[in-house]
Amino acid sequence: MIVFDGRLHDGDTISFDPGDRGLTLADGLFETMLAVDGKVFRRVAHLDRMIGGAAALAIPIDRNRLEADLDLLLDRLPAGEVVVRVTLTRGPGARGLKRPATTRPTVIVTAAPWSADPVMRPVELVTSTIRRNETSPSARWKTLAYVDAVAALAEAEAKGADDALLLNGRGDVACTTMANIFAVDGDVLTTPQPDDGILTGTTRAVVLEIARDFGMCTKEMSRPPAEFAKAEAMFLTNSVRLVVPVARLDRRRHTTDHPVLARFANAIGARIAAECGRDPRAE
């Protein structure tokens, strides 16, 4: 089931304009969200980010259109947990880089099954040879331009790891190919700052809120990988996997049973329950 430009399509295929700039130039944005029984966790924050990215890229889109297309799909889904993706492109355009004089944005909404299995499942990281460009809009917004992440993940998997740690052009820690990263040092929680070339994730924001509720000191700051790796524990966050402990970074092992990690996972589950009616991890 797909919502394409305001219309619901049964099945998993649609007719798509081959001249759409999302296809030809990755000129667009997307949001991936967890929905439980038809309710999206942190829905407002996800759509706020898409609207902000659209403004930054000069893609004219009305929030009501995004809301309506999202609801059109959610209202047809059965009860359960799904990963919802909203894709926004600039729409069709002539050959070349120049933005078209008239923009007709394309909106696509899809859903896929969600599994709790990756939540709290430890991962191993290797530092990628590919750098995150902290000056690029594709680093600050959730754009369709993911070729660096695709290549970095393939590089990591070839080395026997689960994901790649991306440094920025200054050599400081930025993120992984699919998640924000945190370091735990006693009662201090550290994560790269926005200027390090990160996507300011919605789950990242939730974790920072929870940490303050726990009485932890939160620091958004630039740190080189050698310093970051000295932490007592490290973990990743995104909207689908929620909290993921880091078991190894390059050759250095890290604890995956630090008590604060489970506390974060449980607190996020409680917030999902408060917004969506239940914690999707519960059987």
Q: Mean pLDDT, to the nearest integer, of 236-260?
A: 95
The residues, ordered by sequence, that sit 6+ positions from 228 with a Cβ below 8 Å of its Cβ are 173, 181, 183, 190, 234
Task: Please check whether residue 282 lies inside any domain of the structure.
Answer: no
Whether 118 maps to a domain, the answer reads: no
Residues 133 and 179 in one domain: yes
| Statement: residue 283 has pLDDT above 80 | no
Over the stretch 157-188, which tens digit does the pLDDT of each residue have?
999 999 999 999 999 999 999 999 999 999 99
Confidence tier at 101 by pLDDT (50, 70, 90): confident
Assigned domain for 162 exists: yes
Q: Are residue 148 and residue 226 in the same domain, yes or no?
A: yes
Q: How high is the pLDDT of residue 11?
A: 82
In a domain, 215, yes or no: yes
Instruction: Please give the tally of structural domains in the chain.
Output: 2
Distances (CA, A) of 174 to 27, 84, 177, 228, 235: 23, 26, 10, 11, 13
CATH number reported for the structural domain that contains residue 236 in this entry: 3.20.10.10
242: in domain: yes
Which of the listed residues 92, 113, 134 is the one where a domain comes to its end?
113
- Whether pLDDT at 240 is above 90: yes
| Domain housing 46 | 2-113
Query: Is 204 a residue whose pLDDT tops 80?
Result: yes
Is there a single domain that holds both residue 219 and residue 99? no
Q: What is the mean pLDDT of residues 26-30?
A: 97
**Boundary-marking domain end, from 64, 79, 113:** 113
| Residue 283 falls inside a structural domain | no
pTM: 0.94
> Cα torsion for 246, 249, 254, 257, to the nearest 10°?
10
Distance CA 108, CA 5 (A): 6
Six-digit token pair at 240? 């689908």
Residue 257 domain-assigned (yes or no): yes
Domain final position from 81, 113, 145: 113
* Pair 37, 154 in one domain: no
